[in-house]
């Protein structure tokens, strides 16, 4: 428990003076922890895995699956030895086992009821599932097919086509086409190789595999036996020779290290001085000026006094000390200001470092000139190499050069020590070497700093130049993009306004070279042509029907049907030509807009490519180029890509700069005109069909009446004539003259009065029935009447025969 905080008296008084506030629910509410999507996905996958493992690995026979084998192994090595025994011990505890036994007994008692309830509920569940399946299907149809799918096609698919499909067409489709092409080639080659393998190689490979398996089975035990035998003996031998091998290895690496160090010392002693001299010469020559030779003044200054035999190093040092006396005062001042030590010491130390050889020069007594000339030349050349700035002579060297007193005193001390002890002072040598090292380090550092400064200055100049050029190109590109956006919007607006005007008013006729005007073939002209074609066809049908009405006897209704079909087909062809004309015109218009978009984007792309071509080499050779520089370099082409996308959105009307599209309204008007033409044509066709039915109905009526007259005459003249030719309930009107009808014998086999009966109320006459009917309707009605009349006649004949008594004529009547 944490210690209680100390409460002062004043605070306690304040707390008791005010009534305690009850904590609200929000203060004591436990914050809810929201489960992340990964945790939910993990729990779902774990649940699926558990269900699958329970369903698959419930029996011990299904251990051939990897999951079941892993679970079985986990159970064998973890669950059974470590988890189950503690649980069994807890269950078998005297304080727990009675409750466990009671629970088991209760389970045994309840189990039959559970099984019975399960058996009873199974049919009910199956019946419920059977009854609910149609409702589920209906709900799926209502929710998915009629709600989700239409909304998806109405909202998601258009946006996908506008925002996603262009990018897929631009980036994915070319790659996919290339991949498909290469895949097709690879598949063809693979098929050829596969066929060749199956035909030529597969039998041999199968035979080789079989032989290899037999050899492997035969060799494997013997190889294992040989390996075991050889490994045992080799391991024993290795344990014996291992100490000797380790000692030899250590000795080998020790000797190799010593040899490497020896070669390094030899390199530093014999190779590095020459390399340094060559490098100094290269540095001197790269400066563009070569120091003049100082041989003559040294020879004149030192030839008068002989010197004892000394090493070349000592001679070089002394001669180098005398050489600077021939320089001008200005050059000497410049040298002294550039190097901290005195000029005499600088030159002497440089000469010493250049000529470290321990060779002894020739005695000065025997050949003083040659010795001094040789050493002076070496010292002067080394002096020229080590000088940071080029020194020039102000005047020809004087023969009466004066040697400084300090130099003479140092030479006297060195000579005294040499005569007395046979060697130079160690302190002097160490001081000279230290000064030489310091001067070399200072010179190298100054030279490195100068190089860095010059390099940084050049890099800064290059960066400033390329940055200015980049900014210039970027400004030009932005200005061009802004101008092209405005220009593209204006061009698209002009194209669409002209197209809308052309749709509404027609295309302006263009005059040819000879002054004649070409025929216009625009959508407006196509609509007018379709209307004229429909009027011409209708006028032809009208003329045909007028001619048929004037001469009805010579008309054929089948021919009228053929003419009507031809007229309708020609009108459909005219409307198809109108549709093709409008579609072609619309496609050409959109192609013009797309070409304008491509041309505008091509201008921006050309400028971006020129900018990248101008800046790419500069960035490639820039020493301090960065990732941001290359990103700005690629931003030029990205600006083109963005403008290309913006231009397409300007064209399809989803950009703020997109012009209004009057073509939509004009196309709608054209569609209305076409529908008006079609509806007018259909109305006229219906009127003409009604007129034709009237005409051909009258003709059919006259033909039917003539057929009835002919049938009645045949019945009177011949007993064998069919009696079913007459309509039922109508008298024969073959005889137009009443006297002829009275004189003719009346023969009637009908059981009704042949005289016309009075009209029945509520029954219309035949004239009202047939007028306005078509030929097919009249023919069907006549056929039904004939069949009904025949049946009635046969029935009436039988009745009349039964009603009339049979009379046998007597002899007198015969």
**Confidence at 256, pLDDT banded by 50, 70, 90:** very high
Q: In angstroms, what CA-CA distances link 600 with 104, 286, 378, 639?
A: 87, 54, 75, 13
Q: Which residue has the tokens 């000592």?
A: 314
Q: Is the dihedral of CA 778, 784, 787, 793 positive or negative?
A: negative
User: What pLDDT digit, counting tens, does each position of 193-233 carry?
Assistant: 988 888 888 889 999 999 999 999 999 999 999 999 999 99
DSSP 268-315: IIIIHHHHHHHHHHHHHHHTT--PPP-HHHHHHHHSSS-----BHHHH
Kindly report the CA angle at 205 between 203 and 206, in degrees rounded to 5? Answer: 65
- What is the tens place of the pLDDT at every residue in 27-39? 555 556 666 888 8
Q: What's the pLDDT score for residue 654? A: 86
User: In the prediction, which pLDDT does 726 show?
Assistant: 33
Which one has a higher pLDDT value, 52 or 795?
52
133-142, 484-493, 524-533, 592-601: least confidently modelled range: 524-533
Q: Is the pLDDT of residue 776 over 80?
A: no
DSSP state of 18: S
Is 492:593 a contact under the CB 8 Å cutoff? yes
Q: Does residue 656 or residue 423 have the better pLDDT?
A: 656
Which uninterrupted H or E stretch holds 344? Answer: helix 343-354
pLDDT in the model for residue 416: 54
Question: Cα torsion at 694, 695, 696, 699 (round to 10°)?
Answer: 120
Contact 508, 612 (CB under 8 A): no
The per-residue pLDDT for 559 is 82
> Would you call 471 helix, strand, or coil by DSSP?
helix
Distance (Å, whole) CA 291 – CA 299 = 18
Distances (CA, A) of 169 to 152, 304, 358, 584, 658: 21, 98, 83, 24, 22
Instruction: Name the range with the highest mean pLDDT among 59-73, 283-297, 588-602.
Output: 588-602
User: What per-residue confidence (pLDDT) applies to 426?
Assistant: 55
How sure is the predictor about 581, in pLDDT bands with cuts at 50, 70 and 90?
confident
**Mean pLDDT of all residues in 707-715:** 48
517 beta partners = 511
What is the chain's mean pLDDT, rounded? 71
Contacts of residue 87, Cβ cutoff 8 Å, sequence gap at least 6: none
Average pLDDT over residues 470-496: 92
Q: In this structure, are residues 523 and 581 in contact, taking their beta carbons and an 8 Å threshold?
A: yes
3-state secondary structure of 360: strand
Q: Which long-range contacts (CB under 8 A, 24 or more apart) does 540-546 make?
A: 540/567, 541/567, 541/685, 541/688, 542/688, 545/688, 545/691, 545/692, 545/695
From the centroid of its chain, how far is CA 571?
49
Q: Which two tokens stand for residue 110?
A: 């309840």
What's the confidence (pLDDT) of residue 235?
Answer: 92
pLDDT at 283 over 70: yes
- Residue 534 and residue 532: Cα distance in Å, rounded? 5
Residues 6+ apart with CB under 8 A from 60: 72
pLDDT of residue 756: 43
Which of 267-271, 410-414, 443-447, 785-789 reaches the highest mean pLDDT?
267-271
Q: What is the pLDDT of residue 38?
A: 87
Rounded to an integer, what distance in angstroms lies between the CA atom of residue 755 and that of residue 757?
6
Q: How far is CA 333 from CA 293, 346, 398, 401, 407, in A?
A: 20, 13, 19, 18, 18
Phi-psi region of 630 (alpha: psi -120 to 50; beta: other; left: phi over 0): alpha
Answer yes or no: are the C-beta atoms of 537 and 571 closer than 8 Å.
Answer: yes
User: How many angstroms separate the CA atoms of 654 and 652, rounded?
Assistant: 6
Predicted confidence at residue 191, as pLDDT, reads 86
Q: What is the pLDDT of residue 595?
A: 92
Q: Which residue has better confidence, 697 or 754?
A: 697
Give residues with Cβ within 8 angstroms of 428, minimum separation 6. 414
Give the three-state DSSP class for 517.
strand
Residue 425 CA to residue 410 CA, distance in Å, equals 11
Each residue's pLDDT tens digit, 88-97: 889 888 888 8
Q: Which of 512-521, 585-594, 771-780 has the highest mean pLDDT?
A: 585-594
Give 519's pLDDT tier (boundaries 50, 70, 90). Answer: low
Whether residue 561 is predicted with pLDDT greater than 50 in this model: the reply is yes
Tracing tokens 């190799």 back to the chain, one arrives at 256
Separation CA 310–CA 415 (nearest Å): 10
- Torsion of Cα atoms, 330 then 334 then 340 then 346, to 10°: -80
Q: Which residues pair with 311 in a beta bridge?
A: 360
pLDDT band of 716, cuts 50, 70, 90:
very low
Q: Tell me which of 230-234, 252-256, 522-526, 531-535 is least confident.
A: 522-526
Residue 355 pLDDT: 36
Query: How do residues 114-126 score in pLDDT, each as one tens digit?
Result: 999 999 999 999 9
Closest CA to 319 of 275, 277, 377, 364: 377
731 phi and psi, to 5 degrees? -75, 160
Cα 531 to the chain's mean position, in Å? 50
> What was the pLDDT predicted at 487?
92
Nearest to 501 by CA among 531, 522, 529, 527: 522
Which residues are 189's β-sheet partners?
none
Q: Residue 671 forms beta bridges with which residues?
A: none
**Token reading at 496:** 């669409």
| φ, ψ (nearest 5 deg) of residue 581 | -65, -45
Per-range mean pLDDT, top range of 385-389, 672-676, 709-713: 672-676
Cα 442 versus chain centre, distance: 60
CA–CA distances in Å: residue 254 to residues 248, 249, 257, 259? 10, 9, 5, 9
Kindly tell me if the per-residue pLDDT of 46 is higher than 50: yes
Residue 294, pLDDT > 60, answer no
Tokens of 508: 């302006």
Q: What local confidence, expressed as pLDDT, does residue 109 receive?
A: 92
Close Cβ partners of 619 (under 8 Å, ≥ 6 residues apart): 466, 625, 629, 630, 633
> DSSP 3-state assignment of 511?
strand
* 3-class SS of residue 62: coil
Mean pLDDT of 96-112: 91
Polymer length of the chain: 814
Q: What is the mean pLDDT of residues 503-509?
A: 70
Coil, strand, or helix at residue 39? helix
Taking alpha carbons only, the member of 301, 349, 293, 292 closest to residue 325 is 301
pLDDT confidence tier of residue 430, bands split at 50, 70 and 90:
low
- Separation between Cα atoms, residue 318 and residue 292, nearest integer Å: 19
Give the pLDDT confidence score for residue 210 in this predicted structure.
92
Query: Rounded CA gap, 578 and 677, in Å?
Result: 11
- Over residues 382-388, mean pLDDT: 39
Question: Residue 497 burial (CB < 10 Å; 0-12/13-18/19+)?
Answer: middle
CA distance to 153, 223, 226, 707, 749, per residue, from 229 (Å): 77, 10, 5, 125, 134
Residue 813 DSSP code: T
- If one counts every other C-beta atom within 10 angstroms of the C-beta of residue 582, the result is 20
In angstroms, what CA-CA distances link 160 with 169, 184, 616, 641, 768? 12, 29, 37, 20, 65
The three-point CA angle 663-664-670 to 5° equals 85
pLDDT in tens, 125-142: 999 999 999 999 999 889
328: helix, strand or coil: coil
Please tell me what DSSP assigns to residue 660: P
| Angle (CA) 410 411 412, round 5° | 90
29: DSSP letter: P
Give the per-residue pLDDT at 527: 86
Task: Give DSSP secondary structure letters for 578-612.
Answer: HHHHHHHHHHHHHHHHHHHHHHHHHHHHHHHHHHH
Predicted pLDDT of residue 418? 55
Give yes or no for residue 470 having a pLDDT over 80: yes
């Amino acid at each position: 428990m944490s210690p209680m905080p100390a409460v002062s008296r004043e605070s306690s008084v304040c707390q008791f003076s005010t009534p305690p506030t009850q904590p609200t629910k929000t203060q004591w509410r436990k914050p809810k922890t929201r489960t992340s999507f990964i945790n939910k996905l993990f729990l779902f996958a774990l649940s699926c895995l558990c269900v699958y493992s329970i369903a698959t690995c419930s029996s011990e026979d299904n251990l051939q699956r990897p999951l079941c084998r892993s679970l079985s192994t986990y159970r064998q090595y973890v669950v059974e030895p470590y988890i189950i025994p503690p649980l069994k011990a807890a269950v078998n505890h005297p304080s727990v086992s009675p409750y466990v036994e009671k629970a088991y007994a209760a389970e045994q008692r309840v189990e039959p009821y559970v099984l019975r309830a399960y058996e009873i509920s199974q049919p009910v569940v199956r019946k419920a599932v059977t009854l609910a399946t149609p409702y589920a299907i209906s709900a799926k149809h209502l929710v998915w097919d009629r709600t989700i799918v239409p909304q998806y096609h109405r909202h998601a698919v258009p946006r996908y086509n506008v925002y996603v499909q262009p990018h897929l067409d631009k980036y994915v489709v070319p790659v996919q086409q290339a991949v498909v092409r290469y895949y097709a080639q690879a598949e063809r080659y693979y098929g050829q190789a596969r066929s060749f393998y199956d035909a030529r190689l597969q039998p041999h490979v199968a035979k080789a595999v079989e032989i290899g398996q037999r050899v492997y089975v035969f060799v494997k035990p013997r190889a294992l036996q040989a390996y075991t035998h050889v490994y045992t003996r080799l391991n024993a031998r290795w344990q014996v020779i291992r100490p000797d091998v380790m000692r030899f290895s250590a000795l080998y690496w020790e000797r190799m290290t010593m040899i490497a160090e020896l070669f390094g010392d030899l390199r530093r002693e014999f190779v590095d001085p020459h390399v340094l001299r060559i490098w100094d010469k290269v540095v001197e020559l790269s400066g563009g000026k070569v120091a003049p030779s100082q041989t003559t003044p040294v020879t004149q200054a030192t030839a008068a006094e002989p010197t004892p035999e000394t090493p070349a190093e000592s001679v070089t040092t002394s001669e180098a000390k005398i050489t600077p006396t021939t320089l001008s005062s200005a050059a000497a001042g410049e040298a002294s200001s550039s190097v901290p030590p005195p000029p005499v010491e600088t030159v002497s130390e440089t000469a010493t470092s250049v000529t470290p050889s321990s060779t002894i020069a020739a005695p000065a007594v025997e050949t003083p000139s040659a010795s001094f000339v040789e050493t002076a030349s070496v010292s002067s050349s080394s002096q020229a190499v080590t000088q940071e700035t080029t020194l020039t002579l102000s005047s020809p060297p004087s023969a009466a050069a004066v040697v400084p007193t300090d130099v003479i005193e140092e030479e006297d001390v060195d000579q005294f020590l040499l005569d007395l002890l046979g060697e130079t002072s160690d302190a002097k040598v160490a001081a000279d070497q230290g000064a030489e090292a310091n001067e070399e380090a200072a010179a190298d550092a100054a030279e490195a700093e100068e190089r860095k400064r010059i390099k940084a200055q050049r890099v800064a100049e290059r960066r400033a130049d390329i940055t200015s050029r980049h900014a210039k190109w970027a400004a030009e590109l932005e200005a061009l993009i802004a101008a092209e956006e405005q220009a593209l919007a204006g061009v698209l607006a002009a194209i669409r306004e002209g197209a809308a005007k052309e749709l509404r008013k027609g295309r302006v006729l263009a005059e040819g070279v000879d002054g004649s005007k070409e025929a216009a073939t625009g959508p407006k002209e196509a609509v007018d042509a379709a209307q004229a074609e429909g009027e011409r066809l209708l006028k032809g049908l009208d003329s045909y029907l007028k001619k048929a009405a004037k001469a009805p006897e010579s008309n054929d209704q089948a021919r009228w049907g053929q003419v009507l079909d031809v007229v309708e087909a020609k009108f459909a062809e005219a409307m198809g030509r109108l549709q093709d004309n409008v579609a072609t015109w619309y496609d050409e218009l959109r192609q013009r807009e797309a070409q304008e978009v491509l041309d505008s984007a091509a201008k921006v792309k050309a400028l971006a490519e020129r900018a990248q071509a101008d800046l790419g080499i500069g960035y490639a050779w820039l020493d301090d180029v960065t990732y941001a520089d290359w990103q700005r370099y690629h931003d030029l082409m990205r600006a083109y890509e963005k403008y290309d996308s913006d231009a397409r959105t300007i064209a399809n009307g989803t950009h703020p700069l997109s012009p209004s599209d009057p073509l939509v309204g004009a196309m709608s008007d054209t569609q209305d005109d076409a529908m008006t033409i079609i509806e007018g044509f259909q109305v006229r066709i219906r009127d003409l069909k009604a007129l034709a039915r009237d005409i051909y109905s009258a003709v059919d009526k006259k033909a039917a009446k003539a057929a009835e007259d002919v049938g009645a005459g045949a019945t009177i003249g011949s007993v064998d004539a069919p009696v079913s030719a007459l309509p039922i309930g109508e008298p024969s009107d073959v005889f137009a003259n009443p006297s002829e009808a009275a004189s003719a014998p009346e023969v009637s086999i009908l059981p009704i009065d042949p005289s016309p009966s009075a009209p029945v109320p509520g029954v219309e006459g035949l004239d009202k029935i047939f007028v306005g009917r078509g030929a097919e309707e009249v023919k069907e009605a006549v056929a039904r009447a004939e069949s009904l009349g025949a049946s009635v006649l046969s029935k009436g004949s039988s009745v009349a025969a039964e009603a009339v008594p049979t009379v046998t004529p007597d002899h007198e009547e015969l």
